[in-house]
Amino acid sequence: MGFWNQLNTEFMARYLPWYVDAAKLTVTIAFWGILFSLAVGLVCSVIRYYRVPVLHRIVAVYIELSRNTPLLVQLFFLYFGLPKLGIVLSAESCAIIGLTFLGGSYMAESLRSGLESIEKSQIESAQSLGMGQMLMMKEVIFPQALAISVPGVCANMIFLIKETSVVSGIALADLMYVTKDLIGLYYETDEALLMLVIAYLIILLPVSILASILERRLRYAGFGN
Amino acid sequence: MLDSGISVLFLGRNFLRLLEGLWVTMRISLVAVILSIPLGILFGMFMTLKNPLTRAVSRVYLEFIRIMPQLVLLFIAYFGVTRAFGWNLSAELSAVIVFTLWGTAEMGDLVRGALISIPKHQYDSAAALGMSKVQTFGLIIVPQTMRRLIPLTINLTTRMIKTTSLVVLIGITEVLKVGKQIIDANRFDYPTAALWVYGVIFGLYFLACWPISSLAKKLEQRWR
Amino acid sequence: MDETIQLQAAGLKKKFGAETVLNGIDLDVHKGEVVVVLGPSGCGKSTLLRCMNGLEAPTEGSIRLDGETITSGGRNITKQRQRIGMVFQSYDLFPHKNILDNITLAPVKVQKRSKAEVEQQAEKLLKRVGLWEKRKAYPRELSGGQKQRVAIVRALCMNPEVMLFDEVTAALDPEMVREVLDVMLELAQQGLTMVIVTHEMQFARAIADRIIFLDGGVIVEEAEPEQFFTNPQTQRAKDFLQTFTYEKRKTS
């Protein structure tokens, strides 16, 4: 095919290291962003589930703010706006904080729907066995809720990895940034874009395949009574 | 000084310009959503066909669109297609094309999900009542899928609005870009402008998306 | 059965909003006694049991276990619940744990007993209900009747002083009802104090020391089983029993 023959492989080989570095940055930001999102999401989902007074209203406001604004706008505010308040953060920190601000609410909603899917009768039978709140949480509610949340949590992870592509907007040298750079500098558009797509496939395909395997396994081994 | 920064918004046409900038992305979202809905419905029905070939084609399309960050798609359309085919797509047109392709894939998947969620016995009992295929579809299946689809479609609109904010990265002058221009122009008079301008843009997006997603949530709860 | 009152409801009232479900119940359950609560659906039988285990807080009156008041949400509630076992209509085994873990979880974690000792007891009990082979299975792999027998074992393994059974056969296929009821009969013979809500009339007649007939949130009739089933004193009890008999269709 013409397209493949015309590719400048020498160019691609020369700039491969750029992509490797950029991919590392993308993965690093995604990794920390997802990890913190899970932590924030877990705390928020428990607060929402138990309707902790005051806090659950704050969490509700946070979730609405986070879900109804684009990450790019959140990042611009963090990176360009906050320094005017004397809060200066590195671009990486902004990216991770921004991703956590966004992802926390998505994780919270997935985890909460898992918690809420636990039937009341499960809780009552645990109570009738004399279990206290903490033990019940640890042994009965969480293990079941997490299993139910897995598909949602996986989908959020993929979503967050994809969302990292906007960090080029605050001048982080991620995959998008490098691609744009190469296109601007050398006009080797096809090569740059091809490497971009391949890089994202290499990052995202395994996660996506793993997610669907996990989801299928959970469905078949499902606890369904 | 914080109190001086906010006044930059009321300088001249600044606030109006921000709103105009927001309208640029809104316009792209709106066009993309309006195109995506009918195309997505067709695509969704296409995906339920049992033919292995159509299944494979639609699967690949759906998976590729979904696994790629929307910004990558935008780059491909804006930088790649221009060169490969020699078409000179404007940034805004490439954005409309990309978001329509994305919206069609998402909408198609929603439609497919809604269609296959109707249990088989609904078809069976309609048939048992002597309904024709068309009657079954029009009287039984479509009304049930609508209740699921409408909230999800409204949600797609807010996702679209949020996602179109990306177009600033292919050089379209929209609200973030206008914001930057305002900040740059007033760098010396209003050093804290960035905080206020980006804060206001954050607020504007929230005001644009929140009512829509709240509506979707309400409908979803009512129609469950 | 001796004369010690083990579980007692005194002036028990329960309202859900404007609706009064229990309207003044006085009931003494003696040690070793088997009390069967009968009544039409919605008469408050299940609510009575749920109050006895502190799952519902009484609106008025009280439940006492050995003279000690059970307060839903109170400090001692988990302690008290360990002394009262309860089995539900929907079994409610923990789906993510295998049968043995379902049974040993609470004795080990709540009562802090040694795992070896609990497992020994679980083995004995599981063998008695014929499910020892299933100890490594997960609840989803068991039939309804098997699950319910495990649920009974799970409650028994806490060594409760009283057992509450809330329509435990109502969700079962007819051919599985027997296996569950047999287990309960055996428990009754061993002198366990039991309060049973059921719709199985023959079973009630066989197992009960005393029948409580509940209607409209009050105890309408209280009698020994033979007396209740052959010669009910109140019209409401007569009407209730009537619904369980079918007369042969007249062919003319």
Other CB atoms within 10 Å distance of the CB of residue B44: 24
Residue B103 CB-half CA count within 13 A: 30
Pairwise CB contact (< 8 Å): A129 & C96:
no
Pairwise CB contact (< 8 Å): A128 & C155:
yes
Per-residue pLDDT, C2 = 63
Report the C-alpha gap between A46 and B4 in whole angstroms: 41
Indicate the average pLDDT of chain B: 88
Pairwise CB contact (< 8 Å): A81 & B176:
no
Per-residue pLDDT, A221 = 55
Is residue A1 very low, low, confident or very high in pLDDT (cuts 50, 70, 90)?
very low
Total domains, chain A: 1
Q: Tell me which chain A residues have a C-beta less than 8 angstroms from the C-beta of B163.
A: 70
Per-residue pLDDT, C178 = 86
Q: Tell me which chain B residues have a C-beta less than 8 angstroms from the C-beta of A77.
A: 195, 198-199, 201-202
What are the CA-CA distances from residue A128 to residues C8, C44, C59, C81 (Å)?
18, 19, 20, 6
Instruction: Report yes or no: C217 and C21 within 8 Å, Cβ to Cβ.
Output: yes
Q: Could you tell me if A122 lies within 8 Å of chain C, comparing CB atoms?
A: yes
Q: Which chain A residue lies closest to C154 (C-alpha atoms)? A: A129
What is the per-residue pLDDT across A61-81, written as a single tens digit (0 to 9) for each? 999 999 999 999 999 999 998
Cross-strand pairs, C28 = C8
Q: Do chains A and B touch (3 or more CB pairs under 8 A)?
A: yes
Within-domain flag for A22: yes
Instruction: Report yes or no: A31 and A214 within 8 Å, Cβ to Cβ.
Output: no
Report the C-alpha gap between B35 and B131 in whole angstroms: 33
Query: Crossing angle for the helix pair A55-67 and B193-222, nearest 10 degrees?
Result: 100
Q: Which chains touch B (3 or more CB pairs under 8 A)?
A: A
Per-residue pLDDT, C72 = 73
Pairwise CB contact (< 8 Å): C155 & A144:
no
Instruction: Report yes or no: A94 and A73 within 8 Å, Cβ to Cβ.
Output: no
Pairwise CB contact (< 8 Å): C92 & A140:
no
Per-residue pLDDT, A224 = 45
- Domains annotated on chain B, with CATH: 2-222 (1.10.3720.10)
Per-residue pLDDT, A123 = 92
User: Looking at CA atoms only, how far is residue B80 from chain A in angstroms?
Assistant: 6
What is the per-residue pLDDT across B199-219, written as a single tens digit (0 to 9) for each? 999 999 999 999 999 999 999
Pairwise CB contact (< 8 Å): A224 & C95:
yes
Within-domain flag for A225: no
Report the C-alpha gap between B202 and A76 in whole angstroms: 9
Q: Find the mean pLDDT for residues A153-172.
A: 92
* Helical (H) or strand (E) element with C222: strand C218-223
Of C179, C196, C105, C87, residue with least CA distance to C142 = C179
Per-residue pLDDT, B143 = 85
Q: Do chains A and C touch (3 or more CB pairs under 8 A)?
A: yes
User: The dihedral of CA C206, C207, C211, C215: what is its sign?
Assistant: negative
Of A209, A94, A208, residue with least CA distance to A159 = A208
User: Looking at CA atoms only, how far is residue A205 from chain C in angstroms?
Assistant: 30
Q: Could you tell me if A166 lies within 8 Å of chain B, comparing CB atoms?
A: yes
What are the CA-CA distances from residue A51 to residues A56, A115, A137, C19, C113 (Å)?
6, 13, 15, 26, 34
Of A184, A196, A155, residue with least CA distance to A20 = A196
**Long-range Cβ pairs for the range A202-208 (8 Å, 24+):** A202/A23, A203/A23, A203/A26, A203/A27, A203/A30, A203/A161, A204/A158, A204/A161, A204/A162, A204/B67, A204/B68, A205/B67, A207/A154, A207/A157, A207/A158, A207/A161, A208/A158, A208/B67
Q: Which chain B residue lies closest to A162 (C-alpha atoms)? A: B69
Q: Report residue C54 as tokens.
A: 């502190």
Cross-strand pairs, B138 = none
Report the C-alpha gap between A170 and A95 in whole angstroms: 8
Q: Tell me which chain B residues have a C-beta less than 8 angstroms from the C-beta of A169.
A: 168-169
Per-residue pLDDT, A33 = 96
Residue bearing the bigger pLDDT, B131 or B65? B65
* Helical (H) or strand (E) element with B67: helix B52-67
Q: Do chains B and C touch (3 or more CB pairs under 8 A)?
A: no
DSSP readout, A9-69?
HHHHHHHHHHHHHHHHHHHHHHHHHHHHHHHHHHHHHHHHHTT-TTHHHHHHHHHHHHHTS
Report the C-alpha gap between A175 and A21 in whole angstroms: 9
Q: Report residue A91 as tokens.
A: 């671009």
Determine how β-strand C5-16 pairs with β-strand C19-30: antiparallel
- Tell me which range, A98-102, A139-143, B7-11, is most confidently predicted by mean pLDDT: A98-102
Q: Tell me which chain A residues have a C-beta less than 8 angstroms from the C-beta of C155.
A: 128-129
What are the CA-CA distances from residue B195 to residues A87, A222, B3, B21, C110 (Å)?
11, 49, 11, 18, 54
Q: Could you tell me if A201 lies within 8 Å of chain B, comparing CB atoms?
A: yes
Pairwise CB contact (< 8 Å): B183 & A190:
no
Q: Tell me which chain A residues have a C-beta less than 8 angstroms from the C-beta of B191.
A: 84
Is residue B4 very low, low, confident or very high in pLDDT (cuts 50, 70, 90)?
low
Q: Could you tell me if A8 lies within 8 Å of chain C, comparing CB atoms?
A: no
Is residue A222 very low, low, confident or very high in pLDDT (cuts 50, 70, 90)?
low
Per-residue pLDDT, B210 = 94
Mark out chain C residues that contact chain A at CB-CB < 8 A: 53-55, 78-79, 81-82, 84-86, 88, 90-96, 105-106, 109-111, 138-140, 147, 151, 154-155, 158
Q: Could you tell me if A198 lies within 8 Å of chain B, comparing CB atoms?
A: no
What is the per-residue pLDDT across A8-51, written as a single tens digit (0 to 9) for each? 788 888 888 889 999 999 999 999 999 999 999 999 999 999 99
Pairwise CB contact (< 8 Å): C82 & A129:
yes
Per-residue pLDDT, C244 = 77
Q: Which of the residues in chain C have pLDDT under 50? A: none
Q: Report residue A2 as tokens.
A: 């013409």
Other CB atoms within 10 Å distance of the CB of residue A168: 23
Q: Which chain B residue lies closest to A194 (C-alpha atoms)? A: B76
Of A175, A200, A196, residue with least CA distance to A12 = A196
Instruction: Name the one residue in this structure whose structure tokens are 């985890």.
Output: A111
User: Looking at CA atoms only, how far is residue A160 from chain C in angstroms?
Assistant: 29
- Cβ neighbours of residue A33 closer than 8 Å, sequence gap 6 or more: A95, A96, A98, A99, A100, A103, A160, A164
pTM: 0.84
Chain A interface disruption, residue of B198, B205, B214, B224, most A CBs within 10 A: B198
Q: Report residue A18 as tokens.
A: 């750029």
Task: Judge whether residue B1 has pLDDT over 50.
Answer: no
Pairwise CB contact (< 8 Å): C110 & A130:
yes
Q: Report residue C138 as tokens.
A: 């997960």
Q: Could you tell me if A155 lies within 8 Å of chain B, comparing CB atoms?
A: no
User: Looking at CA atoms only, how far is residue A113 from chain C in angstroms?
Assistant: 18
CA angle A147, A148, A149 (to 5 degrees): 90
Is residue B108 very low, low, confident or very high in pLDDT (cuts 50, 70, 90)?
very high
Within-domain flag for A180: yes
User: Looking at CA atoms only, how far is residue B172 from chain A in angstroms?
Assistant: 13
Nearest neighbour of C95 by CB, restricted to A126, A130, A144 = A144
What letter does residue C88 receive in the DSSP assignment? Answer: -
Q: Which domain holds residue A9?
A: 2-220
What are the CA-CA distances from residue A45 to residues A40, A113, A157, C10, C141 (Å)?
8, 9, 17, 41, 31
Q: Would you call C214 helix, strand, or coil by DSSP?
A: strand
Per-residue pLDDT, B107 = 94
Q: Is A32 exposed, middle or buried (0-12, 13-18, 19+ CB in 10 A)?
A: middle
Quote the distance between the C-alpha of residue B177 and its chain's center. Answer: 20
Q: Which chain C residue lies closest to A122 (C-alpha atoms)? A: C92
Pairwise CB contact (< 8 Å): C106 & A121:
no
ipTM: 0.88
CATH of the domain at A37: 1.10.3720.10
Instruction: Name the one residue in this structure whose structure tokens are 């299928």.
Output: A216
Per-residue pLDDT, B34 = 95
Quote the distance between the C-alpha of residue C137 and its chain's center. Answer: 25
Q: Which chains touch A (3 or more CB pairs under 8 A)?
A: B, C
Within-domain flag for A181: yes
Q: Which chain A residue lies closest to C76 (C-alpha atoms)? A: A130
